[in-house]
Amino acid sequence: MGENAEMELANLWFRSQSSTLNGQLEHARTLGFRGLGLLNLTQSPPKTPLRTPDHVSVISLSALTEVDDATPLWKEISIASTLKALTAYSCSQLLVPAGLDRRVEVRSRADKLLARVLAGETIDPEEEALEELLVQTELESERQLERFAGYLHDLRKRAPGLKVAIAPEASAASLLNPARLRLLLDEIHDLDIGFWHDSGQLEMRHSGGLEHPGEWLDGFSNLLQGSTLHDFSGGAEHLPPGIGKVDWSLVADYLPRQSLRILTVAPSYPSEVLAEARTTLESRLPS
């Protein structure tokens, strides 16, 4: 199968396998992907930097340590450690998840709502529990955004040439929503920070009574550096594109041709499904 110059495969699919990073890269290429996006927890960085034709297009902070909702990853992982990992993988693109509200009670209430979404429920935007939670998230948002902006300023000072994109979380306790992302961008307008689109996560937010995915695409597609592509339906994420609720025609309308495209599917799917999903996306998205 020929190599695709655009589509990459997320390392999530290899979670149930014991293959090395080089083995994962080789397997991805045999399925028609250019390389890997390290979006989920991965093995220790290689001792010597990867070389062509090895290819890791993007690394998320989520790939470098266990996720702990109590502490944002950008606060838990030092910038020095992050840059060392990027060098080891010969990678020049960093994805920074914004994280959640720092308050335990807010995260706990949001977790209950998200659990209902993951059980297949759709939350009414006017549900009292959700409305009360959203009011609470605004109380500390300005101070928490200032801390996040401070991290991004420090990161840019240490790595002036690094491509950096930030992303919201599926939870209603996410530090970022469209309004707060606009506020943050006003604060960091000179840092050249991009937006990362995650089709499944944004669909989960919508099922949780939050904004329509189109609000993110319409508002920030000019900053879009890459996209994690998977479907969501009935509480299940990491589905192959086309079998869930994601509006792929909407994604196609906004996804820049030059942005990274990372297919992510659950480890339970056979390799044949990955190849089919890649073909499906290539036929639906602009090239």
Question: Could you read off the pLDDT of 52-89 as tens digits, one per residue?
Answer: 556 899 999 999 998 878 789 999 999 999 999 999 99
Mean pLDDT of 155-175: 97
- Tell me the angle at which helices 128-139 and 104-118 cross, rounded to the nearest 10 degrees: 140
Distance from C-alpha of 193 to C-alpha of 156, rounded to nearest angstrom: 9
User: For residue 5, what pLDDT band results from cuts at 50, 70 and 90?
Assistant: very low
- Assigned domain for 258 exists: yes
Tell me what pLDDT residue 257 has: 87
pLDDT of residue 286: 82
For residue 1, tell me if it sits in a domain.
no
Please tell me the total count of domains within the chain: 1
Q: Say which amino acid occupies 196.
A: W
Can you give the pLDDT at residue 238? 97
Instruction: Please give the pLDDT value at position 22.
Output: 86
pLDDT tens digits along 175-206: 999 999 999 999 999 999 999 999 999 999 99
Residue 11 has pLDDT above 80, yes or no: yes
**Residue 208 above 80 pLDDT?**
yes
| pLDDT higher than 70, residue 51 | no
Domain assignment present for residue 45? The answer is yes
Average pLDDT of the chain is: 93
- Give domain status of residue 2, yes or no: no
pLDDT of residue 70: 79
Q: What gap in Å lies between CA 145 and CA 181, rounded to an integer?
A: 9
Domain that holds residue 208: 7-284
| Structural domain contains residue 252 | yes
Sequence-separated (6 or more) residues with CB below 8 Å from residue 226: 37, 57, 58, 93, 95, 165, 194, 196, 197, 259, 260, 261, 262
Q: Which two tokens stand for residue 171?
A: 């939870």
- Which CATH number belongs to the domain containing residue 122 in this structure? 3.20.20.150
pLDDT confidence of residue 4: 37
Instruction: Kindly tell me if the per-residue pLDDT of 106 is higher than 60.
Output: yes
128 occurs within a structural domain: yes
- H-type alpha helices, 31-164: 73-76, 79-88, 104-118, 128-139, 141-158
Residue that wins the pLDDT comparison between 18 and 46: 46
The pLDDT-based confidence of 209 (bands split at 50, 70, 90) is very high
Average pLDDT over residues 144-166: 97
The predicted pLDDT at position 52 comes to 54
Query: In this structure, is residue 23 part of a structural domain?
Result: yes
Q: Do the domain assignments include residue 134?
A: yes
DSSP for 128-181, written as a single string: HHHHHHHHHHHHTHHHHHHHHHHHHHHHHHH-TT-EEEEE--SSTTBS--HHHH
| pLDDT attached to residue 250 | 97
Would you say the pTM of this structure is higher than 0.85? yes
pLDDT at 2 over 50: no
Residue 71 φ/ψ, nearest 5 degrees: -130, 125
